[in-house]
Amino acid sequence: MTASSEFHIELKDVHKNFGPKKVLDGINLQVKRGHSMVVIGGSGTGKSVMLKCIIGLMTPTSGSICLDGQEVGHLPQHERDGLMRKFGMLFQGAALFDSLPVWENVAFRLIQGAGMDRDEAREKAQEKLRQVGLSPEVMDLSPNELSGGMQKRVGLARAIAADPEIIFFDEPTTGLDPIMADVINDLIVDCVKRLGATAISITHDMASARKIGDDAAMIHKGKIIWNGDVANIDHSGNEYVDQFIHGRAEGPIQMDILKA
Amino acid sequence: MNPLAIIGQFILGFFEETGRLSIFTRDAVRHIVLPPIYFRLIFAQMVKIGYNSLPVVGLTAFFTGGVLALQIYIGGSRFNAESLVSSIVALGITRELGPVMAGLMVAGRVSAGLAAEIGTMRVTEQIDALRTLSTNPFKYLVVPRLLAATITMPFLVLIADILGIMGGYIVGTKSLGFNGAVYIRNSVDFIEFNDVASGLIKAAVFGFIIALMGCYHGYQSKGGAQGVGRATTNAVVSASILILAANYALTSLLFS
């Protein structure tokens, strides 16, 4: 595939309103092919909404979203859904289908989307589960018999099962202990490298951001307020970023807390 | 608060909900005919929605038939019309009580279950996950449930008809002293094909309503456990009311 644009994913002045509430207020963001971008920012700043607009689960109110230079933000629903095969997404709560055993979760797209034979899909699922460090014994378990960390790993296996070009990670380490978080970080780096995919991760875990990101962007009140190499994040010269990465309550970002 | 504003808000809310439901129904029906069709899932749902509802529907119909026989006997004896028990039980069950009682019982069992299941899938992002895996949630979740309920409800009601009449027969012969052969003779002679058929048509419509309300409220639910709880309640209440309303409309349509 030839890239017709320098950027794999490009957002220009993307707005998203829910009624009177402006969640995204003019997002501009570029991600190069094969790069891993981490988007940091506090809770409720619009990170998840941005991801859902890019992947097509939500339609932006206005603005342009381009994949390989092709405008996709305002395509009709069925054409938009046709682009889904380019994407893989790891959801915050893993979002595994609890009515299906682990292996069918992983092979879901292969069976439902690509119409692959069930035996073949099962083998493929086993291989992907091994890639995320899970033994074949978990294949026939139900997702709710697994621990949080294992569920995340199954979610990761499901996201990469059909070898997507673009992978999204929605708070991949939230709710995990620090060791399991690091295991997940390693797996993400490994999977993204192996596929050569473009990745966007949203997180507020700085250790994770440093590990899985090439580039970083910070989102605040629906705008990207800083954007650069993840290695430069410690001397960004931006007070908002400084406050966020050091986790200080005092600074330019004011939480909506009533002072006693 | 301004009382006019409250009325206005209520009316706007009503139309908004009606519009949303209409769009949902249109999408669901459109996806019934468009491929791909997941036969495996339709079959699984037929077992869950139809077959598993058998005990509840059967018991309800049996006792309804029994109590109907008792009441008609008591009422009928005032006009010396006890002999009509068997025919009125048969007519009442097949035309009215079979479909309506089965509909209400299945609404309680199935609408609630569907709303809770799909609602939980919504709030845990499983429905979003389906879409990212190139699978249309309408086709995968809504269509199999709608079809399964619409197809299995007439069978359930047919069984309810039989068990209801049997309930009346047992009460009639064991406690009211009717002769078994005469009782059956009277039931069979009085029932016409249309009595049963109209009940089965109603049943199919009720099945559609039950699954539609369960899926719709589940699909729209938001806000965690409380949202799912609200969706479940709304599904059962709206399915029950719509069944009763549709029952009236269908009866006046089918018997006019």
A70 at interface of B, judged by CB pairs closer than 8 A: no
* pLDDT of the residue at B153: 94
Residues of A in contact with B126 (CB under 8 A): 95-98
In the three-class reduction of DSSP (H, G, I as helix; E, B as strand; rest coil), residue B1 is classed as coil
Q: Name B240's Cβ contacts closer than 8 Å, sequence gap at least 6.
A: B104, B107, B108
Contacts of B128 in chain A (CB under 8 A): 52, 57, 91, 95
**Distance between CA atoms of residues B38 and B55, nearest Å:** 27
Per-residue tokens: B138: 């309408």
Q: Which tens digit of pLDDT belongs to each residue from A72-102?
A: 878 887 777 778 888 888 888 888 898 888 8
- Is pLDDT at A2 greater than 70 in this prediction? no
Tell which wins on pLDDT, A1 or A63.
Answer: A63
Count contacts between A and B (CB, < 8 Å): 49
pLDDT tens across A113-152, in order? 777 888 888 888 888 888 888 888 888 888 888 888 888 8
In this structure, which amino acid lies at residue B143? V
Tell me the CA distances in angstroms from B234 to A92, B211, B230, one per residue in order.
28, 13, 6
10-residue averages of pLDDT along chain B (256 residues): 88 91 90 83 91 93 92 86 84 90 93 93 90 87 93 94 91 86 85 88 94 93 87 93 94 81
Q: Which residue of B has its CA nearest to A108?
A: B133
Separation of alpha carbons B171 and B181, rounded Å: 14
Question: What residue of A is the nearest CA neighbor of B123?
Answer: A95
The answer, for A57 touching chain B at a CB cutoff of 8 Å, is yes
Within 8 A of B140 by CB-CB distance, chain A residues are: 112
d(CA A138, CA A160) in angstroms, rounded, equals 18
Q: Which of A56, A92, A113 sits opposite B133 (nearest CB)?
A: A113
| A232 in contact with chain B, both atoms CB, cutoff 8 A | no
Measured CA to CA, the distance from residue A53 to residue A63 in angstroms comes to 11
Q: Please give the pLDDT value at position B58.
A: 93
User: How many structural domains compose chain B?
Assistant: 1
Would you state the structure tokens that stand for residue B89, as one six-digit string? 């039980």
User: How far A67 CA sits from the closest chain B CA (Å)?
Assistant: 16
Please name each of the domains of chain A with its CATH number.
Answer: 7-103+164-246 (3.40.50.300)
Q: What is the pLDDT of residue A1?
A: 43
Q: What angle do CA A222, A226, A230 make, to 5 degrees?
A: 125
Confidence at A58, pLDDT banded by 50, 70, 90 = confident
Spatial CB neighbours of A140, under 8 Å, sequence gap ≥ 6: A101, A102, A103
Q: Decide if B140 touches A, using CB distance below 8 A.
A: yes
10 Å CB burial of residue B204 (0-12, 13-18, 19+) is middle
Q: Are A97 and A90 in contact (CB under 8 A)?
A: no
The pLDDT confidence band at residue A259, using thresholds 50, 70 and 90, is low
- The domain of B82 spans 3-254
**What residues in B contact A97, CB-CB < 8 Å?**
121, 126, 129-130
Of B206, B210, B215, give the one whose Cα is nearest residue B247. Answer: B206
Only one residue has tokens 């008609």, namely B72
Instruction: Give per-residue pLDDT as tens, A186-242.
Output: 888 888 888 888 889 988 888 888 888 888 888 888 888 888 888 888 877 788 888
- Assess B135–A contact: CB distance below 8 Å, yes or no: yes
What does the mean pLDDT of chain A come to? 83
Residue of A84, A90, A112, A167 to mutate when probing chain B, most B C-beta within 10 A: A112
